[in-house]
Amino acid sequence: MVAYKEEFKLDTAEVDASIEAVFEYRNTLDKLQADDLLRFEARFKELLNESTIREVANFNAQLAMWRETIRERIARINTSLTQIDYNPGRYIALEAQPTPDADILELSKY
């Protein structure tokens, strides 16, 4: 009971670990067994994995869209920059380059 109380502090805050409280722990066990949580654990993990994969894919699609937006904006800026002669026959142009950050490169594989 002490180990259970230590691991599940919120659920056992109002129950002590004395032998007199054994019926409280037994009631908790009966309720957990009646709820059949083990049956739902596998489904929960499956849904969590699917959700995580879907959200990472959505995030990656959003990043791709932002990447394209940035490229379009750079192209628009470059169009304006070509109108400015800094030296005869020369102008400044911005260049989009992928990041060298390893974490971002790894994420973009998904």
pLDDT in tens, 44-68: 888 888 898 899 889 889 988 998 9
Residue with tokens 């995030």: 59
**What does the alpha-carbon distance between residue 11 and residue 27 come to, in Å, rounded to a whole number?**
12
- The larger pLDDT score, comparing residue 98 to residue 27, is at 27
**Count of alpha carbons within 13 Å of 31, Cβ hemisphere only?**
7
Between CA 28 and CA 41 the distance in angstroms is 18
pTM of the model: 0.50
